[in-house]
Every structure is written in structure tokens, then in C-alpha cells.
Structure 1
Amino acid sequence: MTGSVRLEPVDEQNLEPLLSVAVAEAEPADVMPPVEAPAGWSQARRDAFRDFHRASFGGLDGPTRTLMFAVVAGGEVVGMVRMARCDTPGVVETGMWLGRSARGQGLGAAALRELLNRAAAAGMRTVVAETTPDNAGAVSVLRKCGAKLRDEGGKLHAEMCLDSALPIR
């Protein structure tokens, strides 16, 4: 199972399992935008998590211009990866999170590779991402997927061109 994933568009069927993984294995700030709510996984924050994901049910052509996928490994939801249209045609931005128990198994790179394939199939030419230099897991995943990285004022900007073959490793 190591490194083997399936991506499922986030919908009402997998939203609660995704929230369960987030609550059990991630911090709110790592999996959703900040909201005015009590600290931790309060009911208000759980509701905001649901609302945040439901807003993207329209996909790349919907109001948020974002398509979110549940990352499924071994038949279980273990995290989320998304792509969001940028203002530049043919470019989408990506972000991902995995529950703590799913990290370090090659699942992040497998999920990003699958997302890159989906982006190419949707007619995209480039996928970009941003992280911090100290996010070793994200940097490793981006490198494994052929990203060109550059430091931009303390942030790492990643760019993956879909016009060439994707790395297999």
C-alpha cells in the first residue's frame, strides 16, 4: 500500500471522513483557512471546515474555481489535495495535507503525481505551489514530483510544468 493512492472529488460522501482525519490527525491551521472560532476543533471550526469544502463542490468552473480531492489509501481517507485556477490561463495552484499517520509513506508524492495527471487532463500547463523552507515533507514531495523551487522572500515557490513527462519515482 505504501505510495498507492486514489483521489476522489470531495463531496458529501467523503466530507465527514475527511473532517474526522483532520480532527484526529491535524491542526486546524494546517487544513483550512483561519476562522473566528474558539481554539482547537470546536464545533464552529468543524462547521467552517465543512463550509470551506462545500464551497468548492462546483470544481474548477465553480465560484471558488477550486477542485478538492480526498486522498484515499488502503480504502481510508487520509488527507486532501486541491487545485485552484490561477488568473493566468492554464495554471492551477495546489496544496495538500495528510493526517500524521499517513505521512512518510510516499503517499504525498503519489497524491501529487495523480493531481498533476488530473491537471494535465483538464488542459492545464503548469501547477504551482507555495510552502516554507522548513516544511521538509512538502519540499520533499515537490522535489520528487519534479518541481522547480525558488526562494521568494522566505517562501518557497514551486512550479511543475505539465508539458514534460512526470517523474516516476
Structure 2
Amino acid sequence: MVSAVRLEPVDERNLEPLLSVAAAEAEPDDVMPAVEAPAGWSMARREAFRDYHRANFPGLDGPARTRMYAILTGGEVVGMIRMTCCDEPATVETGLWLGRSARGQGLGAAALRQLLDVAAAAGMHTVVAETTSDNTGALSVLRKLGAKLRDDGDRVHAEISLDTPQS
């Protein structure tokens, strides 16, 4: 059974717990853009993680046009999901990550389902995502929520219409 999932906008209250989960249970390249810093979770990389998330605090109307949400279950931060405005009208791109201990429990699908509701409430009609063809967890979540998948070799493009009912 999937535990209850709650999305909470990333801000100063949950930024350090989010960083703690990332550093303990994920690789830097899986949770943030690449930066020039020593390998692993160096102090420089941790500060870049904070800066990256703080740059998105203003949300969809801010310069980065991105809203990030901490994924919580049982009151604990277990990962992050985001949506970023695309050039296409009423379309956002999403991505998420979960700490290793939270994977395989249905939390990703529950978080994405909630994000779809948030996106629809914000007036969006389409949510897109990109992943790799070997990311079976992401592909499973996307299929479960009715995404149309297009395979481009080692990349997979997903599209979810918010104008049709979700699974």
C-alpha cells in the first residue's frame, strides 16, 4: 500500500531536509544540474544545490519559470518534483527524484498524480517529461498515469494531456 504523499513548495523550511536526502540517498547528477565541483557531495556541490533550488523559489512567474515541490510521506522529505513552463502555451515539463529508500513504493506515481492536479489548477493542459529508455521506474510511473511515450533511441519523450481523465 502506498503511503500518503504530500507536496510542499520548496523553500527555506524544507531545503536542508531535501539536501540531506539528496546527499544521503542520491547522486548529484540525478538531482541537480551539473556543476564544476569536486566529485560527490562536496561543500561546493551542496552550496550549488541550495542556490539552484533558491533560484526557483519565485515559482512559475519567476525568472526560471519553475515551481519545485518537496515530496513528503509520513512527515519526512523523500524527494522532489518540479514543473517548468515550456514555450508551448499551457504546457509544463516535469521531473522528479526520490531517495533510494523511497523508491519502488508507488510514491513517484502519487507525487506525479498530485502535480498533475496542481498543473491543471494553474491552467495547464499538457505535462511533458523526458527520461532515458533504461529508467524503468520513470517509465512505469508515466505509463501508469496515461502518458503517451515516444522512444527516440536512448531517450523517451512523454506527454500527458490534462484534458483527459488520469488513471
Question: Do the two structures share a fold, i.e. TM-score over 0.5?
Answer: yes
The residue number in structure 1 matching 2:25 is 25
Number of residue pairs the alignment of both structures matches:
167
Offset, 1:154 = 2.3
Q: Counterpart in 2 of 1:144?
A: 144
The reply to whether residue 102 of structure 1 matches residue 109 of structure 2 is: no
Give the 5 Å matches for 1:27-106.
Answer: 27-106=27-106
Secondary structure of the 2:151 match is strand
Instruction: Give, in whole Å, the separation in 2 of the partners of 1:16 and 1:93.
Output: 25
Asked if structure 1 preserves the Cα contact closer than 8 Å seen for 2:133 and 2:153, the reply is: no
Deviation at 1:4, TM superposition (A): 2.0
- Deviations along 1:13-49, whole A, 9 cap, x unmatched? 0000000000000000000000000000000000000
Percent identity of paired positions between Structure 1 and Structure 2: 74
Alpha carbons 1:149, 1:156 under 8 Å: kept: yes
Offset of residue 163 of structure 1: 0.2
Q: Please, what is the CA RMSD of the aligned residues?
A: 0.8
Aligned-partner Cα distance in 2 for 1:21–1:14: 11
SS at match of 2:111: helix
**Residue 159 of structure 1: aligned partner:** 159
TM-score for the superposition, normalised by structure 1: 0.97
- Distance (whole Å) between structure 2 residues aligned to residue 21 and residue 145 of structure 1: 26
TM-score normalised over the length of structure 2: 0.98
User: 8 Å contact 1:3–1:109 — kept in the other structure?
Assistant: no
- CA shift, 1:159, in A, is 0.1
Is 2:134–2:154's contact at 8 Å kept on the other side of the alignment? no
Instruction: Name structure 1 gaps, 5 residues minimum.
Output: none
Structure 2 CA distance for aligned equivalents of residues 153 and 85 of structure 1: 25
1:125-153 CA-partner distances (Å, limit 9, x unpaired): 00000001100100011111110101124
Distance 1:17 1:55 in 2: 17
Runs (5+) with no aligned partner, structure 2: none
Q: Which amino acid aligns with 1:92?
A: V
